[in-house]
Amino acid sequence: MIQPIVILTETTLDDSDRTSLEELLDGGEFSAKLLVQADTQRHLLVDFVEHLSLLEFTEAFRELGAKAPDTADARQDASQVLEKSLTALEGLFQEIDGSVVDEGSAVQALVDAVKATGASQAVVFTRPHAVLDTFHADLASKAQHALGLPVLHLYAGSGFIGDS
């Protein structure tokens, strides 16, 4: 029997992410729903502190003068992330499809997809976020709270498990 899994990512999945998923699947038969979050919102203070915590001083101060993201551009970028990620995961699942979701509704889209597919597993791929991870305000923590089920949080491109 094919088991559904729902994956939410904020960044392009690559070969190391595929390897992490292969280990999770452990040879079972799975279908997947891949959701890609479009970066449609700006979090000035969080982004500024995030860059400072990573000793990215130039980027931190550049962030102060940056404009809010253009929604159309953000969705276009997310569409490219979706296509590249689907290509990276090709052949890993019996069936896979995906869609782009806006940042503000990403967690709800994950919850809706889990309920619609009957998935027993949800995986969230993010970049490390010092501030959000520390205060459990990251996507995986929000998803876990909304679902009431464990959510596997992986840092994209690294194979490291996040703290959710």
Confidence check: pLDDT of 115 > 90: yes
With respect to residue 57, please indicate whether it lies within any of the assigned structural domains. no
Per-residue pLDDT at 163: 55
Per-residue pLDDT at 156: 83
Instruction: Give the C-alpha separation, 11 to 82, whole Å.
Output: 9
With respect to residue 117, please indicate whether it lies within any of the assigned structural domains. yes
pLDDT digits over 139-156, tens only?
A: 778 888 898 878 888 888
* Phi and psi at residue 81, to the nearest 5°: -60, -45
- Provide the edge-to-edge strand list for the sheet that holds 152-155: 95-102, 30-38, 3-9, 121-126, 152-155
pLDDT digits over 6-34, tens only?
A: 999 999 999 999 999 999 998 889 999 99
Structural domain boundaries, residue 90: 3-42+74-155
Instruction: Provide the domain count of the chain.
Output: 1
Selection from 71, 131, 82 nearest residue 104 by Cα:
71
With respect to residue 65, please indicate whether it lies within any of the assigned structural domains. no
Mean pLDDT over all residues of the chain?
A: 83
DSSP code for 125 = E
* CATH number for the domain that contains residue 149: 3.40.50.620
pLDDT digits over 45-79, tens only?
A: 667 777 777 778 788 777 766 666 667 888 899 99
Instruction: Give the C-alpha separation, 8 to 140, whole Å.
Output: 9
Per-residue confidence at 120, pLDDT binned at 50, 70, 90? Answer: confident
With respect to residue 145, please indicate whether it lies within any of the assigned structural domains. yes
Per-residue pLDDT at 90: 95
With respect to residue 109, please indicate whether it lies within any of the assigned structural domains. yes
Per-residue pLDDT at 88: 96
Has this prediction a pTM greater than 0.75?
yes
